[in-house]
């Protein structure tokens, strides 16, 4: 059961990476920048203030904040409303992408694999031939 555990597979992978580096393989990481949208929510604040003799309306625009001050002389109340529009900020975030290094099979490995399949074919042919000879 120990050969199936995750730790065993990680140890084997580390050993294989060391062997590949000793054999001359070079590993490189690539950095890609991804655009990420960061939404900034809308902010609004309302306030009521009572004043004595004031009869004006004021509107102030600053950056994305709009403030309105409205006076109601009948009730002697001032209504103040500030609103900040929502904005989406786009930020570049670096993302590291590990490159896969693929090494093709060597000539000797291909030859060995072909020889193995040839032997399997010979054995299978011999078994079929001997079974047919027994039937006759």
Could you state, in chain order, the average pLDDT of each consecutive group of 10 residues for the chain (136 residues)?
A: 69 84 74 82 66 66 78 78 80 76 68 92 93 85
Check residue 124 and give its pLDDT. 94
* Residues 81/91, Cβ–Cβ less than 8 Å: no
How far is Cα of residue 95 from the mean position of the Cα atoms in its chain? Answer: 8
Check residue 126 and give its pLDDT. 94
> Are 31 and 97 found together in one domain?
yes
* Residues 96/39, Cβ–Cβ less than 8 Å: no
> Are 5 and 72 found together in one domain?
no
Instruction: Return the H-helix or E-strand segment holding 70.
Output: strand 65-72
> Are 129 and 62 found together in one domain?
no
Check residue 125 and give its pLDDT. 92
> Are 32 and 46 found together in one domain?
no
Indicate yes or no: pTM above 0.75: no
User: In the 8-state DSSP scheme, what is residue 104?
Assistant: P
Check residue 51 and give its pLDDT. 59
Counting the structural domains of the chain, the total is 3
Check residue 49 and give its pLDDT. 59
> Are 23 and 13 found together in one domain?
yes
* Residues 36/93, Cβ–Cβ less than 8 Å: yes
Half-sphere exposure (CA, 13 Å, Cβ side) for 50? Answer: 3
> Are 97 and 31 found together in one domain?
yes
Check residue 90 and give its pLDDT. 84
Domain range spanning residue 58?
A: 42-85
Check residue 101 and give its pLDDT. 57
């Amino acid at each position: 059961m120990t050969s199936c555990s995750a730790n065993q597979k990680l140890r084997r992978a580390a050993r294989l990476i060391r062997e590949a580096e000793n054999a001359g393989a070079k590993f490189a990481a690539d950095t890609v920048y991804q655009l990420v949208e960061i939404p900034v929510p809308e902010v609004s604040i309302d306030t009521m203030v009572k004043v004595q003799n004031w009869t004006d309306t004021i509107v102030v625009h600053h950056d994305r904040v709009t403030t309105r001050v409205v006076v109601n002389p009948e009730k002697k109340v001032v209504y103040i409303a500030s609103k900040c529009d929502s904005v989406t900020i786009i930020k570049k975030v670096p993302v590291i992408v590990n490159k896969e290094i693929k090494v093709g099979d060597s000539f000797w490995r291909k030859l060995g694999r072909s020889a193995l399949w040839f032997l399997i074919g010979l054995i299978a042919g011999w078994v079929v031939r001997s079974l047919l000879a027994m039937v006759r």
